[in-house]
């Protein structure tokens, strides 16, 4: 699988273009702006976009959705709980029309030979989603390198984000690589042993 990381938008959120090397089918995760740059990267890769996935509904992760959706005539998916905040015009959430479909815990999607497992990780937002592909997990703003997503915006909940990380991400195993919504990649091992926000019961 090809992983192209594109810091996009005013806050430089990580947009990921994921492409199956054989079929060239591609998925775009969190196009948060600079859609022209994202599209240029897709074209350079020779990717055939299949859909857009959103880890959550904050503007810095969704601002380029419609440009890419319209360019490639593809659907976008989000958790329904975050769409509720978008529809209300809640501060920091983006502005999008209704999604083409909704993501929930346990959903499985495919592109080429790759399989995506959807993991619901509320806390940063109520509808926060992470995406596991093999030994790689894309965590949006749930888990960062030695940090976690902020929970002071509407819909955020500190206890929920800690529970989501400890109960749904840490058990994925130490070898899993973590690709966050901002900043450099890390690993479950590094976060389990060095992240100051996490439950010490997971330390060896």
Question: How many Å apart are CA 102 and CA 193, to the nearest integer?
Answer: 34
The β-bridge relationship of strands 76-78 and 48-53 is: parallel
Q: In what order do the strands lie in the sheet with 48-53?
A: 2-8, 13-19, 25-29, 48-53, 76-78, 101-102
Per-residue pLDDT of the chain (204 residues; tens, 9 = 90+): 999 999 999 899 999 999 999 999 999 999 999 999 999 999 999 999 999 999 999 999 999 999 999 999 999 999 999 999 999 999 999 999 999 999 999 999 999 999 999 999 999 999 999 999 999 999 999 999 999 999 999 999 999 999 999 999 999 999 999 999 999 999 999 999 999 998 654 433
What are the structural domains of the chain?
Answer: 2-202 (3.60.15.10)
């Amino acid at each position: 699988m090809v992983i192209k990381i594109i810091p996009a938008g005013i806050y430089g959120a990580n947009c990921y273009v994921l492409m199956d090397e054989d079929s060239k089918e591609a998925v775009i995760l969190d196009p948060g702006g600079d859609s022209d740059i994202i599209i240029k990267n897709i074209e350079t890769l020779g990717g055939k976009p299949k859909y857009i996935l959103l880890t959550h509904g904050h503007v810095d992760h969704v601002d380029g959705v419609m440009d890419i959706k319209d360019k490639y005539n593809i659907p976008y998916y989000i958790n329904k709980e975050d769409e509720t905040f978008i529809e209300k015009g809640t501060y920091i959430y983006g502005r999008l029309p209704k999604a083409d479909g909704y993501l929930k815990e346990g959903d499985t999607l495919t592109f080429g030979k790759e399989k995506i497992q959807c993991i619901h990780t509320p806390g940063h937002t109520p509808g926060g989603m992470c995406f596991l592909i093999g030994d790689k997990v894309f965590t949006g703003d749930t888990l960062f390198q030695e940090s976690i997503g902020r929970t002071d915006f509407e819909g955020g909940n500190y206890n929920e984000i800690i529970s989501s990380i400890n109960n749904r991400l840490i058990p994925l195993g130490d070898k899993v690589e973590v690709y966050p919504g901002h900043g450099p990649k890390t690993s479950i091992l590094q976060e389990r042993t060095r992240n100051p926000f996490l439950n010490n019961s997971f330390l060896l």
